[in-house]
Chain A
Amino acid sequence: MKVLVFSSFTFAYLDRARVLFGTLKKHHPDWERVAVITDRPPPGIDFDPSAEPFDRVVWFEDLNIPRGEGWLFGHDIVEACTAVKGPFLHQTCEAGDADIVIYLDPDTALLNDLSPLVKALQTHDGLLTPHLLEPEDELQALLDNELATLRTGIFNLGFVAIRTTGQGARFARWWNDRLLAFCHDDIPKGLFVDQRWCDHVPAFFDRFHVLRDPGYNVASWNLSKRKVHIGLDGAITVNGSPLRFWHFTKLGPTGDTMTRRYAGTNFEVHEIWNWYKRLIEEARDPRIPPRWWAFAAFDDGTPIRKDWRELYRDRADLQAAFPEPFRTGPNTYHAWLAVEGRLTGPASVA
């Protein structure tokens, strides 16, 4: 049974990916580890994939997405990194490169082995983890967690595991198609990148299984209902189940606030976070500029605003007229924006 695990990220998250793949390597040295990178190395960084804890790198260009550059321009960093999960998953199924494919967000890390997933995929074609496994009791938690996941998706797509045949392959094709066209952060339209789509999964794919084990995908959004215990035998358990992997979302003061709020006096949670922060610090390459993304700016360095991306992706005529939208100079999308008077005015950069 060949298992392939992949993650999707940019160089700004290389430290997190290193930690994830390092823990994967420790617990599953025989699983293939693939880094899908939608980015280019920052200037001065001599990126050597052979020195990294993953087996191979798949660059955005390797995915051969139709109208690649134009398609990429239509997405901000989060949209792009989540959207490429679909093509990679689908293409891996098509190529027959593995029997099982597991996706993990770069900001997850293993604290135990994931072999029960392989067993579960003997009887199911796919596995998803819901953000929440039980209702909240407090209003604040309801607002932070239950209501928020109604907007962003019932399942957390920081994890998905499929067989590369049967409904697993059908899911991969369907998700690929949807993400190529609609992987947008547009909550008013019912979209939250790759996640809201998967609310359909239990209805569309009856051989998919909702993983209800609290030891998987532990994160600040479900901590209010999960108690972490570290026994004298050295085992870490969550509500009595072995802790498998943690989702270290929002590393920094905001994440700390949410962790404090929901971990309460369960200090073991902070021990796990401290461990992760130490590993990140070790894995960090200080030469990579914070928030680096090679596709964040036009070729003259002008940061690309979100509304310019949205306009471009919504207008087939602009896509046809300017197939290389990152370029600047005469007869470019950038020049068109200037002529239209759209280069000025308040809007967020993304």
Chain B
Amino acid sequence: MSLTLSPEILQQVRAEFDPDFYLAANKDVAEAGADPFQHFLIFGAGEGRDPRPDFSMGRYLALHLDVREAGVNPFVHWVTSGRAEGRATDHGLGFQYEVLWADKPIEERMRALRLAQPDRAPDPAQTLSDAANRLAPGRGIHVTVSHDDYSRGVGGVQLCIRLEAEALARRGTDHLHLFPSSAGVMVDVERETPTLGVLLNGTLTGHFTPETVAEALAPALAGRRITVSIHSLIGHPVERTCDMLAALGVTEGFFWLHDYASLCAGYALMRDDVAFCGAPSPDSAACEICSYGRRRRIQLPAHVEVFQRFALTVVAPSQVALDLWSHRFPVRPAASVVHPHARLEPRPVQPSPSVPSADRPLRVGFLGMPSLHKGWPIFADLVRRFAADDRYEFHHLSAVEDPRVPARFTRVAPTPDQPQPMIPAIEALDLDAVVLWALWPETFCIAAHEAVAAGAAILTHTGSGNVAAFVAGEATRGQVLPDEASLRALFASREVATLSRANRKPVLHDLVFSGMVADLIPEAAT
């Protein structure tokens, strides 16, 4: 490409190219030390890599079929002629269209995942028997079931399992954790030889078939008091996992509503990943067209069967989650309870206000992964609209950056020394408000609690589940808005400034986590 462009045109295109963005978005180019502009012209353009945050190569080609047919570099076309012709670079159809346009069929994604993570050969059963025989005799054992190895993850579910196990360990209870050896995104019905990863008291023992787990553990667990807490069945060969639990003598337990995976293969109830669906009848037209519809016909009955086999107490971290689930799940659980993951307690000593200056820009943040379900496109749109407005300063606090969005990035990731880094990070940046615009009804939302604990106000919408419920409960926590237009209007009118720290003078809190189901199990039971 560079060989066929005149020096004048090359210079013109280079002037519009954003090398910093290109390097941030393409770590491989940065690591190779290549010249970003040359890389873009020779390789990147053909690979569909974008030259600047506000220009999508794929979108431009989709909008202008003549450019696609001509086979020219779309960015060069836009710089040299398309812009002057008034050609659009954005279709203005919203993030939902972007998601649907890029959509890969779910079956294709699952096939790719199965190929990337093939079935693994089971470890010798003796390894598991030996490990179980080393457990101190007579102690109760708490079994947790989830979608992954919680000891290696940093997400909310992993934290809950860790806290649950720690709380029970303090009572002298052992912990057995079971997870699918190969990751899945839904319940598994395809793997020929699925195995489960087994952690005993936090140590990985190995990977075994569910039948081996039952056989190897049954002798060591005989006579012990067993409690069970199912946090997620994603990735599990559900029937075999249940057979294994039954073989260990399990008849009852707890079932967590961390998400809505028991209602649908799309755990967030986001139809086609673009809109909250409400979990209507699986026979509805909406489920017919939804990319999760067919898998829902497997996932939902699989969970129904679990509730029919075991007397399960549903544990919801919020009333919102329990209400939605109870309304849509076809069978009644043995019992249900709302048990929040955490609560806020005012700090005994409030730090003296850091003299927040009334005339500094309002600092608005987004907490966590820049993911669709968390409402990243809504925040990104807000940043793009108001990035040049000196009344506002936008921040992104996360382990992962999105270079397309011109927000100030602060890397925030848990470490063994600092497992809860978000609260000090919010305080250090002195954020006034955070946008928590989950596109699905969140069952809890630790980030919302972290924001308020650190003194930041929350901007959310009515459909965000427990985020909205958390904010609506106390006006000082922020505002619940009806839609995105109201959010934009709040910024355009500057009304959002009422949420500044200077104005609110927030009380800071500590975030106190619960013991999860350990709080629900009587001492005598363990």
Contacts and interface: CB of A to CB of B under 8 A. Distances in A.
Given A256-B62, A265-B93, A274 B286 contact: no
Given A235-B285, A254-B65, A274-B100, A230 B93 contact: no
B285 A111 contact: yes
A148 interface: no
Contacts of B91: 260
A234 B291 contact: no
A271 B285 contact: no
A233 to B, nearest CB: 5
Nearest to B92: A265
Contacts of B284: 233-235
A267 B97 contact: yes
Interface in A124-142: none
Nearest to A278: B105
Contacts of A278: 105, 291
Nearest to B99: A267
A272 interface: yes
Contacts of B288: 111, 275
28 contacts: A111-B288, A111-B289, A230-B271, A232-B276, A232-B277, A232-B278, A234-B285, A235-B280, A235-B286, A236-B285, A236-B289, A253-B65, A253-B68, A254-B65, A256-B62, A260-B91, A260-B93, A263-B93, A265-B92, A265-B93, A265-B94, A267-B93, A267-B100, A271-B272, A272-B289, A274-B100, A274-B289, A274-B291
A236 B65 contact: no
Contacts of B65: 253-254, 257
Nearest to A112: B285
B163 interface: no
Q: Which of A111, A112, A232, A265 has the most CB of B within 10 A?
A: A232
Contacts of A112: 285
A243 interface: yes
Interface in A264-289: 264-265, 267-268, 270-272, 274-275, 278, 281
B308 interface: no
Interface in B249-283: 271-272, 274-278, 280-281
B306 interface: no
A281 to B, nearest CB: 8
Contacts of B372: none
Contacts of B103: 274
Given A243-B285, A271-B274, 18 more contacts: A112-B285, A230-B275, A232-B277, A233-B280, A234-B280, A235-B280, A236-B286, A265-B93, A267-B94, A267-B97, A267-B100, A270-B100, A271-B100, A274-B103, A274-B289, A274-B291, A275-B288, A278-B291
Nearest to B93: A265
Interface string A233-248: 1111000000100000
A111 B289 CA distance: 8
Contacts of B62: 253, 256, 260
A334 B97 CA distance: 51
B97 A230 contact: no
Contacts of A267: 93-94, 96-97, 100, 274-275
Contact of B278 (A233, A257, A271, A275): A233
A292 B505 CA distance: 73
A231 to B, nearest CB: 8
A234 B281 contact: yes
Nearest to B106: A278
A315 B54 CA distance: 60
Nearest to B95: A267
A172 B458 CA distance: 66
A108 B105 CA distance: 21
A232 B280 contact: yes
Contacts of A232: 276-278, 280
A250 B91 CA distance: 20
A274 B102 CA distance: 10
Contacts of A254: 65
B204 interface: no
Interface string B273-316: 01111101100111111110000000000000000000000000
Contacts of A268: 275
Contacts of A263: 93
B286 A234 contact: yes
A-B residue pairs, 5 tightest by C-beta: A234-B284, A234-B280, A232-B278, A267-B96, A275-B289
Contacts of B93: 260, 263-265, 267
B100 A230 contact: no
Contacts of B275: 230, 267-268
A281 B274 CA distance: 22
A274 B278 contact: no
B90 to A, nearest CB: 12
B231 to A, nearest CB: 27
Contacts of B272: 271, 274
A298 B101 CA distance: 41
A270 B105 CA distance: 14
A268 B288 CA distance: 13
A154 B242 CA distance: 61
Interface string B54-66: 0000000011010
B432 to A, nearest CB: 31
A274 B290 CA distance: 9
Interface in A6-34: none
A267 B377 CA distance: 15
Contacts of A230: 271, 275, 277, 285-286
Contacts of B281: 234
A236 B293 CA distance: 14
Given A233-B278, A265-B94, A271 B271 contact: yes
A137 B281 CA distance: 38
Contacts of B290: 271, 275
A275 B289 CA distance: 5
Nearest to B69: A253
Contacts of A256: 62
Interface string B70-96: 000000000000000000000111101
A264 B96 CA distance: 11
Contacts of A265: 92-94, 96-97
Nearest to B276: A232
A108 B97 CA distance: 23
Nearest to B280: A234
A257 B59 CA distance: 12
Nearest to B289: A275
A234 B286 CA distance: 5
Contacts of A257: 65
A271 to B, nearest CB: 5
Contacts of A236: 285-286, 289
Contacts of B105: 278, 281
